[in-house]
């Protein structure tokens, strides 16, 4: 089986605090994987090392077999690792169309062109429009991003990540803080993502996790606590004890 | 969100339309040409003011160069005057060495040389502003400017020290038009150079490259995550802006036929930044309008109360920054939106 992503003995400490503790992890192509764990388990720290925002203290990260441990954020992004952020990281003064066009420009190496007006590559603009339509935010494509409702901003987070046509997509709590009425739209979008992209979902919400993930890793105190299929994790009494508590998780 | 949705192929056309020239831009440039006939000693009784207007153009071009780095890429700088001063010394030294003959005393050759030298200085120092917060950038750019100003002051054999360079003899523009006493050639030449630099800047900000600058300003973290080479883009725009600042400085040196420590002094950086914020950053026209208003205010208030003009300038600036987003242009946009009830400003 080929693995898109692999970490070998990944460790990260901040002073005396060990945020990532010897995590060895393999992600097969086309995976639908969830990374769960209680608050402060080190999920976001782990993701930040995968994307290059943080440098691990020790250990290696492999992407499609290549050692990317020392690669910059940008190089990883160009290689096909995309992420969304737990807290929206958008371009407030641009429109959704401009934001996505920019991301596609970067993918197509068209973004350093300084003499050509932005809209002149119609193939890129059309692709941006199509992507916004797919995510159900085509109607607000010319609005100011900063003025969009929160749910639409969350969808734009995903659109920006998808514009890069990633091979690996890391979704950091995509539905966090979204009102119930707009939640379903985000879940649908996540469920409809093509199999060519391997997904890692970092999530608190167990309904979302069990609806979407085929495999799950549980992170506790920075270390991998256990791994398995969604069913195995749901049935595992240790997981219930350490993480799920008394909460009912009876979804398949 | 009740607007009907246009077919998607229109989206490109819409974006292109955003880069199209507007009628009020045509008006602006026509007015600039009109000033030539109004103040060019053609009408009896109207004072000749073309030298002052040429100086305003040079100052406006400097503010425009700051707009590229601050208004679009979000990099604050207090050192743009250094590139301006460098450009003015390069142009003056070349013309002086050329003794009025081609090629060294040719104005356009001088401009290109100033752009090259200032651009190179910008490229080298750009690596200092890549890291750090706004405060670090302010201090680093200020430091670079102070170093260059002191070098100009100390290298007396080259720059004339505190006395500056005088007796600079410029050749005719394009071998055709000599600089005259009324400043007619100076003004039209400055205006033409301003327009060319403005046109290039306008292409830049409306290009994919310009869009990525706005993204970097908006959120550098996200820009990196979608693959924008943030540092390379900042180096590029800082270099371009330094070259334009060098052209602005060269213009002032050529039209006044001199270069002095005043042209590289710190206050020029501060004035230009103030002018840009006053006029409105992020519109390209803000620096030009700001430079005009700044000098006119200096004149008008200076005539009423010579000592306190900076007091009134400061007061206007504080009010503008506190209550209006986007300076004078922001004020005009706000009023227009209220009149047309359009809601979001474009």
User: Would you call A90 and B219 a contact, using CB atoms and an 8 Å cutoff?
Assistant: yes
State the DSSP H helix or E strand holding residue B2, giving kind and residue range, or none if neither. none
Confirm if B84 and B249 have CB atoms less than 8 A apart: yes
- Which among A75, A78, A105, A147 is the top mutation candidate for probing chain B, defined by the most B β-carbons within 10 Å of its own β-carbon? A105
Q: Which pLDDT does position B133 carry in this prediction?
A: 84
HEC string for A69-137: CCCCHHHHHHHCEEECCCCCCCCCCCCHHHHHHHHHHHHCCCCCCCCCCHHHCHHHHHHHHHHHHHCCC
Asked whether residue B51 is domain-assigned, the answer is: yes
CB atoms within 10 A of CB A3: 16
pLDDT tier at A252, thresholds 50, 70, 90: very low
Cis previous bond, B103, omega within 30:
yes
Asked if residue B312 is part of any domain, the answer here is no
Q: Work out how many domains chain B is built from and give that number.
A: 1
CA distance A214 to chain B (A): 27
Which of B:221-250 have CB within 8 Å of A?
A: 221-230, 232-233, 236
A8, A26 contact by CB (below 8 A): no
Per-residue confidence (pLDDT) for residue A55, from 0 to 100: 93
Note the pLDDT of residue A250. Answer: 45
Q: Which residues pair with B259 in a beta bridge?
A: B165
d(CA B205, CA B346): 15
Q: Are A200 and A46 in contact (CB under 8 A)?
A: no
**Spatial CB neighbours of A140, under 8 Å, sequence gap ≥ 6:** A96, A148, A152, B1
Instruction: Per-residue pLDDT tens, chain B, 346 aa: give them.
Output: 344 444 445 777 778 777 889 898 999 999 999 999 999 888 888 888 899 999 999 999 999 999 999 999 999 999 999 999 999 999 999 998 888 787 888 999 999 999 999 999 999 999 998 887 889 999 999 999 999 999 998 998 888 888 888 888 888 889 888 888 888 999 999 999 999 999 999 999 999 999 999 999 999 989 998 989 999 999 999 999 999 999 999 999 999 999 998 899 888 999 999 999 989 999 999 999 999 998 888 888 888 876 777 788 788 888 888 887 788 898 888 888 888 765 444 4
How far is it, in rounded angstroms, from Cα B202 to Cα B198?
6
Residue range of the domain that includes B210: 47-307
Can you state the angle between helices B23-39 and B285-304, rounded to 10 degrees?
40
- Looking at residue B346, its pLDDT comes to 44
A54 close to B (CB below 8 A): no
Q: Which residue has the higher pLDDT, B341 or A202?
A: A202
Task: Please tell me the predicted confidence (pLDDT) of residue B236.
Answer: 96
CA neighbor of B57 nearest in space, from B185, B261, B195: B195
What pLDDT is stored for residue A251 in this prediction? 45
Q: Give the residue, A133 or A39, on which the prediction is more confident.
A: A133
Nearest to A218 by CA among A232, A198, A207: A232
pLDDT category of residue A1 using cuts at 50, 70 and 90:
low
In a 3-state reduction of DSSP, which class is residue A29?
coil
Q: Helix, strand or coil for residue B297?
A: helix
Contact B228 A106 (CB under 8 A): yes
CATH number at residue B136: 1.10.3470
> Quick check: helix, strand or coil at residue A2?
coil
pLDDT of residue A58: 94
For the whole model, what pTM was predicted? Answer: 0.88
* pLDDT tens-digit readout, A211-223: 889 999 999 888 9
* A18 near B CB under 8 A: no
Nearest 10 degrees: Cα torsion B229, B231, B235, B240: 50
Chains A, B: CB contacts within 8 A come to 151
Chain A residues in contact with B227 (beta carbon < 8 A):
74, 77-78, 103, 106-107, 164
Mean confidence (pLDDT) of chain A? 88
Judge whether B21 lies within some domain.
no
- What is the rounded distance in angstroms from the CA atom of residue A87 to the CA atom of residue A154? 9
Fold entry, domain A3-89+162-244: Rossmann fold (3.40.50)
Predicted ipTM beyond 0.90: no
Do A99 and A90 form a contact (C-beta atoms < 8 A)?
A: yes
């Amino acid at each position: 089986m080929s693995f898109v992503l692999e970490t070998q003995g990944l460790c990260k400490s901040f002073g005396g605090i060990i945020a990532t503790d010897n995590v060895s992890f393999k992600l097969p192509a086309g995976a639908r994987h969830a990374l769960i764990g209680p608050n402060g388990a080190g999920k976001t720290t782990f993701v930040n090392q995968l994307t290059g925002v943080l440098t691990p203290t020790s250990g290696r990260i492999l992407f499609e077999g290549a050692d990317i441990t020392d690669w910059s954020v940008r190089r990883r992004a160009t290689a096909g690792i995309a992420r969304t952020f737990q807290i929206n990281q958008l371009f407030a003064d641009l429109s959704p169309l401009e934001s996505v066009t920019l991301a596609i420009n970067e993918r197509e190496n068209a973004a350093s062109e300084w003499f050509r007006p932005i809209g002149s590559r119609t193939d890129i603009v059309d692709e941006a429009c199509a992507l916004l339509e797919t995510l159900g935010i085509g109607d607000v494509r010319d609005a100011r991003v900063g003025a969009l409702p929160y749910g639409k901003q969350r969808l734009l987070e995903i659109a920006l990540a998808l514009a890069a046509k990633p091979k690996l997509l890391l979704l950091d709590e995509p539905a966090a803080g979204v009102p119930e009425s707009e939640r379903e739209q985000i879940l649908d979008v996540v469920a409809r993502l093509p199999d060519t992209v391997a997904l890692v979902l970092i999530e608190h919400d167990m309904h979302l996790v069990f609806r979407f993930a085929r495999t799950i890793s549980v992170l506790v105190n920075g270390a991998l606590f256990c791994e398995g299929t969604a069913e195995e994790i749901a049935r595992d009494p240790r997981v219930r004890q350490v993480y799920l508590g008394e909460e009912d998780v009876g979804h398949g | 969100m009740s607007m009907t949705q246009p077919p998607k192929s229109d989206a490109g056309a819409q974006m292109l339309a955003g880069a199209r020239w507007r009628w009020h831009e045509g008006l602006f440039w026509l007015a600039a040409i009109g000033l030539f006939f109004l103040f060019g000693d053609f009408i009896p009784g109207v004072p000749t003011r073309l030298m002052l207007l040429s100086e305003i153009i040079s100052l406006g071009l400097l503010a425009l160069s700051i707009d590229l780095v601050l208004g679009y890429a979000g990099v604050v700088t207090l050192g743009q005057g250094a590139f301006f001063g460098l450009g003015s010394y390069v142009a003056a030294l070349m013309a002086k060495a050329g003794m009025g003959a081609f090629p060294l005393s040719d104005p356009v050759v001088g401009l290109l040389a100033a752009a090259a030298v200032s651009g190179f200085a910008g490229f080298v120092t750009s690596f200092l502003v890549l890291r750090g917060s706004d405060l670090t950038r302010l201090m680093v750019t200020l430091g670079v400017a102070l170093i260059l100003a002191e070098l100009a002051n100390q290298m007396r054999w080259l720059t004339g020290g505190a006395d500056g360079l005088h007796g600079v003899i410029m050749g005719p523009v394009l071998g055709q038009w000599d600089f005259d006493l009324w400043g007619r050639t100076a003004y039209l030449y400055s205006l033409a150079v301003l327009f060319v630099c403005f046109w290039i800047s306008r292409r830049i900000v409306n290009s994919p490259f310009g869009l990525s600058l706005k993204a970097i300003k908006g959120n550098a973290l996200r820009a990196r995550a979608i693959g924008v080479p943030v540092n390379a883009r900042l180096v590029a725009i800082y270099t371009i802006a330094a070259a334009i600042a060098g052209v602005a400085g060269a213009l002032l040196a050529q039209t006044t036929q001199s270069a002095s420590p005043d042209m590289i002094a710190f206050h020029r950086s501060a004035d230009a930044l103030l002018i840009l914020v006053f006029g409105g950053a992020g519109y390209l026209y803000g620096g030009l309008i700001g430079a005009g208003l700044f000098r006119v205010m200096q004149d008008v208030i200076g005539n009423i109360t010579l000592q306190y003009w900076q007091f009134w300038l400061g007061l206007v600036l504080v009010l503008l920054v506190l209550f209006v987003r986007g300076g004078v242009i922001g004020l005009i946009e706000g009023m227009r939106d209220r009149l047309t009830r359009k809601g979001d400003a474009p």
